Amino acid sequence: MKSKTYRLSTGLGTNWANVAGSAGERWLLAAMNGDAAASLNVPLNFLSRKKWALHGFADDPKFSDYQAVVESTSNVDAKTVLTLSLAPAGGFTGIISKSD
């Protein structure tokens, strides 16, 4: 299986980073945050013109102990710009795969 990794954006000054990598027709997206809450806009323009589904996991903002996760699923495409709201010292991870 051929793999590609693309760095989408990093922000060392604001203590956040996100990275996407692919393995075939599946993309993995991850974002990590520093000590302050942050909102990131992540364009998905690296996707082909197919229909895609994003299955994401993020820290639940109702809890401060990082023991709870919010799970979500949405349809995305190359024109989608994800807005990620990251908790302090929190993160996001998602799997993007072809949608039927």
Tell me the per-residue pLDDT of 5-47, one tens digit each, with 9 for 90 and over: 655 555 544 566 777 777 778 888 888 888 888 888 888 988 8
Query: Do residues 55 and 75 make contact, with C-beta atoms less than 8 angstroms apart?
Result: no
Tell me the domains of the chain and their CATH numbers. 3-98 (2.60.40.1180)
pTM of the predicted model as reported, rounded to 2 decimal places: 0.79
Q: Enumerate the H helices of 1-100 as residue ranges.
A: none
How far apart, in whole angstroms, are the C-alpha atoms of residue 15 and residue 99?
33
Please answer whether residues 92 and 60 qualify as being in contact, where contact means their C-beta atoms are separated by less than 8 angstroms: no
The pLDDT-based confidence of 56 (bands split at 50, 70, 90) is very high
Vertex 18, ends 17 and 20: CA angle to 5°?
Answer: 150
Mean pLDDT of 49-69: 85
